[in-house]
Structure 1
Amino acid sequence: MRKIVLTCLLLFHLLSAIGQTGYKPGPENLNARKWFEEARFGVFIHWGVYSILGDGEWVMNNQNFGLREYELLPRFFNPIDFNAKQWAKLFKQSGARYITFTSRHHDGFSMWHTKQSAYNVVESTPFKRDIVRELVDACREEGIKIMFYYSLLDWHRNDYLPAGSTGRGIVGRDSTQSDWGKYIAFMKGQLTELLTQYGTIDGIWFDGHWDKPNADWHYGEIYSLIHRLQPQCLIGNNHHIAPIAGEDFQMFERDLPGHNTTGFGTKAEDIGALPKEVCGTIAGSWGFDIKDRKRKSFQEVISYLIKAGGYGSNLLLNVGPMPNGEIQDYQQERLLEMGSWLDTYGESIYGTQGGFIKPTDDYAFTRKGNIVYLHVLNTKLSKLEVPNFDIGIQSMTSFDKNQKVKYTLSNSTLQVSLPLVVEDKPYVLIIKTK
């Protein structure tokens, strides 16, 4: 009997680590997946006390801070220029349909008034305001949906120990206080707060699995908790592996689906059938880096959005606000440029499907009903050739339908004579299919 009990316990823990077994999304969740797939564009926000140091969101790990040293940062965090309503209006103007905000990053600092720890923005900073509350309320006023990034790993709490693949050089941690069960309970307590105190939350975006890939993260319990509290709430996990039972969308960090330019990307064979999201940055880093010189042009970010759509994926484009609460001018400019382009061509992105023709650096296709949208990314081309085009064509016109576009389709090869354009910005042609 003892062996049977031990076997059952072992099986329970194994299934718990794997995911929410037997999970079948209900109508609320399926409807949420539908809006998510149609949204196509969201804004990611990496902001925390790490912004004070101006060296990115990994500064605690990269500079091997001591716990007591890093704990001084909240005393300096007083973002007097933070205006949630201004942020929300900017995101609305960008054309984003949702945001994902870093409620708690790897440094363990919480950006809301959590009761699970005093290490939060209300109790540990002179600002003493619940940033999550203000941002949620402001975005809701603008009709923008809200998702929370939540870090699974923690460089601050001792009960998370032993350290995983990161945080090993952080000074002052006490391994004798390690308690995995306590840490899991802490996370469940925080997630319960986020899902019961701020109204309807549209998604939870987990990160950090890769720090301890063999740990029992109790996903079965955590995913079940989320779906029980808010059945429509979508769950994604940035673990870079195949989807785990209970997850509702699959994300790809700094890479298009099926690509692996980073070296840690998801394998092509691990791409599932769930809604997809690509995340990337306007700057080089996610969090504020005062020395960051890798600023992406409008051409780069809009091409990323279009290519993501061509793969049937959303783009979650990141901003890293400064410690005073302002979003840098050039990042605001990129968002406004995105919004201006989407004001013109949004119907070719929102609510479309992709994945039927693989995007290239020259073009990408999306589809809605019997209309196929051809996005021309390389505006210097006068002609375009697309192999494996097996869709019958009735007509091809400019986006405003005022100009017919010459083309030939023979042996599944589409050749298009492109119109002359003045601006070096991607543009769209409309193909009416048979």
Structure 2
Amino acid sequence: MNTDDELRLKWWKEAKFGMFIHWGLYAVLARGEWAMAASKIPVTEYEKLAKQFNPLKFNAKEWVSIAKSAGMKYIVITAKHHDGFAMFHSQTEKFNIVDATPFARDPLKELAEECQKQDIKLCFYYSHVIDWHHPHSVHEYYNNTWDYQLENKSFYNYWNNLAKPQIRELLTDYGPIGLLWFDTAGGLSKKDSKEIIDIAHKLQPNCLINSRVSHWPNMGDYQSKGDNEIPMYGEDSRPWETPMTLNKSWGYSDNDQEWKTTESIIFKMVNIVSKGGNLLLNVGPTAEGLIPETSVERLRDVGKWLSTNGEAIYESNPNPYPYEFEWGAITVRSGKMFLHLYHKYCPGRELKLYGLKNKVIKSYILADETKEQLDIDQVYNEESDHHALTIKLPKQLPGQYISVVALEIAGEVKVDQSFSQQASGVITLDLVHAEIDERITKAEWGFKVVHPGTFDVVLVNFKKAGTDWEKEYNETVELNLGKQQLECIPKEDIILEESQSCQYPYTEIHSKLGQVEINKSGQYTLSLTSDKIQRKLETTEIWQANAVKLRSVKLIPSNDGSSK
């Protein structure tokens, strides 16, 4: 990444948290943003909905204020979704909110003015390839074939006469735009993808472009993950962002009331930021122009948590360790390390952290206004090259959901980079960190054991909704640790109701493979052979297509008392 790219990305990497808004003509149907395709509504019938679309309760100041009070730093709103309806006053196409509806106002113009006033970056989503309204839009999969003959489509008619002119309008008529968020580029050529990027950067050199502008690798300024996808730590080499729903729908749906709890949202935000990503959290306003009250309540609660703990989120750097922690997550800033303690997983009155090489100068709870010093004990065993930090925690952690322990340290943070056993005794080996031989579908890890004993071996997978597990996992996996070998067909032994890195449409599944003995501390090598082993693909949406995704192997101290 060159200096110009880094400067363009700086604000976005520091922001960490943004609001996604899916709002369009589909709100009238209240069945989500794919309603037109799902019901194969003819264009002539869909156009009639515009006469019913009159969102008089829309208030740009109120929307931007909701985002700001939630601690969000940017807004990405759907300027045009797959239905082809422009939510701005397009001079290119009359199928837009000003010319086709009784509302006759440009909400994006009003949002642009309000974002300037409240110092929020305004950004636009634009469906550049899918357009069910236009007779010549051509996508690899998702086309309007109920109105139009696919063989009669001429893509460049759409591309040159609608898509590019509207993108130019968005970058010309609405002031400075933080980023353009493109979606589902199926079949778009590399040349056409690059042309859009060049147009955007010519009109607004500082405007960011997300990776969904193209299916070609490394296009755009940063990586958009799959919908609701949270990667494992270290899975991405580029700056990245997770787009996430508050319930299950993006556009407003009156049948979808399955809302994420405030606790879950904060957990996931911390998890994402600790891995170096941004969270783009979606709201789906109604046809009247209101953000649902439940969304507002959740965002208000997240904002309260950030008002106290924002120092550990904004402008932070990711966890410096090559693995995650069961008790929470870590972020860092210059001279400081922040330990995010999930209340429900907090290990009692003491928190142990292995591998921190810096001297801790001061330790306190971030939410504690007095910054009262927490007692700590730091030791180093030279023979085993083992650093251990123990922090005495208060009887009652302040606030809700997550408390942040701030460590002021001497110098820039330095930690043991080996894959090491955690203080809890658990050893987690993520697939993304393995040495992979795809010819024989084998993954191998090296790791350090501090506390030997007997360990239960657990395989962690993510399963997509509707998947037949036995059909997907019908072959034996083989695990080797020294001379010990385990072979079995994984079963759905534990289905996690809550997961930090997994959410709808996926569920985290734990499969028990057996037990292994580790008799002394030191370095070990473990290998796993499975037909589910593959390298992470560089494209965006392929991840969503996997029915079962192998994520990691866990070695968990046995509860039979044999581990030390």
1:38 to partner: Cα distance: 0.7
Find the partner of 1:364 among 329, 336, 358.
329
Q: Give runs of aligned pairs for residues 91-170 of structure 1, distance below 5 A.
A: 91-152=67-128, 153-161=130-138, 163-167=139-143
Equivalent position amino acid for 2:393 in 1: L
Q: Structure 1 residues 213, 179: CA separation in 2 closer, same or farther (over 3 Å shift)?
A: closer
Aligned residue for 1:149, secondary structure, equals strand
1:378 to partner: Cα distance: 3.3
Equivalent position amino acid for 2:365 in 1: S
1:232 counterpart = 2:206: yes
Q: Using the alignment, how far apart are the partners of 1:366 and 1:288 within structure 2?
A: 34
Any unmatched runs of 5+ in structure 2?
381-385, 411-564
Equivalent position amino acid for 2:290 in 1: E
1:323 to partner: Cα distance: 0.8
Of residues 178-187 and 231-240 in structure 1, the stretch that sits farther from structure 2 once superposed is: 231-240
Q: Using the alignment, how far apart are the partners of 1:241 and 1:311 within structure 2?
A: 24
Aligned residue for 1:72, secondary structure, equals helix
Aligned residue for 2:405, secondary structure, equals strand
Aligned residue for 1:395, secondary structure, equals strand
**Cα shift readout 1:282-316 (whole Å, capped 9, x = no counterpart):** 12111111011220111011111111110111111
1:298 counterpart = 2:274: no
Aligned residue for 2:230, secondary structure, equals coil
Q: Structure 1 residues 406, 199: CA separation in 2 closer, same or farther (over 3 Å shift)?
A: same
Q: Structure 1 residues 281, 360: CA separation in 2 closer, same or farther (over 3 Å shift)?
A: farther
Q: Which residue of 2 aligns with 1:402?
A: 372
1:335 counterpart = 2:299: yes
Find the partner of 1:374 among 339, 347, 359.
339
Q: Using the alignment, how far apart are the partners of 1:364 and 1:417 within structure 2?
A: 18
The structure with higher relative contact order (CA 8 Å, sep 6+) is 1
Identity %: 33
Equivalent position amino acid for 1:365 in 2: I
1:248 counterpart = 2:218: no
Is residue 188–residue 214 contact of structure 2 (8 Å, CA) maintained in 1? no
Q: Structure 1 residues 213, 356: CA separation in 2 closer, same or farther (over 3 Å shift)?
A: farther
Q: Which residue of 2 aligns with 1:31?
A: 7
**Cα shift readout 1:310-343 (whole Å, capped 9, x = no counterpart):** 0111111111111100111110011111111111
Q: Structure 1 residues 178, 286: CA separation in 2 closer, same or farther (over 3 Å shift)?
A: same
1:255 to partner: Cα distance: 1.8
Q: Structure 1 residues 306, 136: CA separation in 2 closer, same or farther (over 3 Å shift)?
A: same
Q: Using the alignment, how far apart are the partners of 2:261 and 2:294 within structure 1?
A: 9
Return the TM-score normalized by structure 1. 0.85
Q: Which residue of 2 aligns with 1:202?
A: 178
Aligned residue for 2:337, secondary structure, equals strand
Q: Structure 1 residues 388, 251: CA separation in 2 closer, same or farther (over 3 Å shift)?
A: farther
Q: Structure 1 residues 67, 394: CA separation in 2 closer, same or farther (over 3 Å shift)?
A: same
Q: Give runs of aligned pairs for residues 80-91 of structure 1, distance below 5 A.
A: 80-91=56-67
Q: Using the alignment, how far apart are the partners of 2:74 and 2:339 within structure 1?
A: 25
Q: Structure 1 residues 363, 405: CA separation in 2 closer, same or farther (over 3 Å shift)?
A: farther
Equivalent position amino acid for 1:255 in 2: E
Q: Using the alignment, how far apart are the partners of 1:272 and 1:239 within structure 2?
A: 18
Q: Which has the higher helix share?
A: 1
Is residue 223–residue 235 contact of structure 1 (8 Å, CA) maintained in 2? yes
What's the C-alpha RMSD, in Å, of the aligned pairs? Answer: 2.4
1:221 to partner: Cα distance: 1.1
Find the partner of 1:276 among 221, 240, 244.
240
Q: Which residue of 1 aligns with 2:553?
A: none
Find the partner of 1:58 among 10, 13, 34.
34
1:187 to partner: Cα distance: 1.3
Q: Which residue of 1 aligns with 2:315?
A: 351
Is residue 184–residue 218 contact of structure 1 (8 Å, CA) maintained in 2? no
Aligned residue for 1:158, secondary structure, equals coil
Aligned residue for 2:20, secondary structure, equals strand
Q: Structure 1 residues 26, 365: CA separation in 2 closer, same or farther (over 3 Å shift)?
A: closer
Is residue 67–residue 173 contact of structure 1 (8 Å, CA) maintained in 2? no
Q: Which residue of 2 aligns with 1:6?
A: none
Q: Structure 1 residues 56, 390: CA separation in 2 closer, same or farther (over 3 Å shift)?
A: farther
Q: Using the alignment, how far apart are the partners of 2:146 and 2:88 within structure 1?
A: 26
Aligned residue for 1:375, secondary structure, equals strand
Of residues 101-110 and 212-221 in structure 1, the stretch that sits farther from structure 2 once superposed is: 212-221
1:353 to partner: Cα distance: 0.6
Q: Which residue of 1 aligns with 2:393?
A: 418
**Cα shift readout 1:386-425 (whole Å, capped 9, x = no counterpart):** 4554554333222232141445555245444433226542
Q: Structure 1 residues 172, 241: CA separation in 2 closer, same or farther (over 3 Å shift)?
A: closer
Q: Using the alignment, how far apart are the partners of 1:416 and 1:290 within structure 2?
A: 47
Q: Which residue of 1 aligns with 2:509?
A: none
Any unmatched runs of 5+ in structure 1?
1-23, 260-266
Q: Structure 1 residues 68, 414: CA separation in 2 closer, same or farther (over 3 Å shift)?
A: farther
Aligned residue for 1:238, secondary structure, equals helix
Find the partner of 2:277 among 304, 310, 313.
313
Q: Using the alignment, how far apart are the partners of 2:196 and 2:248 within structure 1?
A: 32
Aligned residue for 2:329, secondary structure, equals strand
Return the TM-score normalized by structure 2. 0.66
1:73 to partner: Cα distance: 1.5
Q: Which residue of 2 aligns with 1:71?
A: 47
1:71 to partner: Cα distance: 1.7
Aligned residue for 1:159, secondary structure, equals coil
Q: Structure 1 residues 84, 214: CA separation in 2 closer, same or farther (over 3 Å shift)?
A: closer
Q: Using the alignment, how far apart are the partners of 1:148 and 1:183 within structure 2?
A: 20
Equivalent position amino acid for 2:224 in 1: M
Q: Give runs of aligned pairs for residues 385-400 of structure 1, distance below 5 A.
A: 385-399=352-366, 400=368
Higher Cα Rg, which structure: 2
**Cα shift readout 1:172-197 (whole Å, capped 9, x = no counterpart):** 12436412222221211111101111
Q: Using the alignment, how far apart are the partners of 1:235 and 1:406 within structure 2?
A: 45
Q: Structure 1 residues 176, 167: CA separation in 2 closer, same or farther (over 3 Å shift)?
A: closer
Q: Structure 1 residues 53, 225: CA separation in 2 closer, same or farther (over 3 Å shift)?
A: same
Is residue 379–residue 424 contact of structure 1 (8 Å, CA) maintained in 2? no
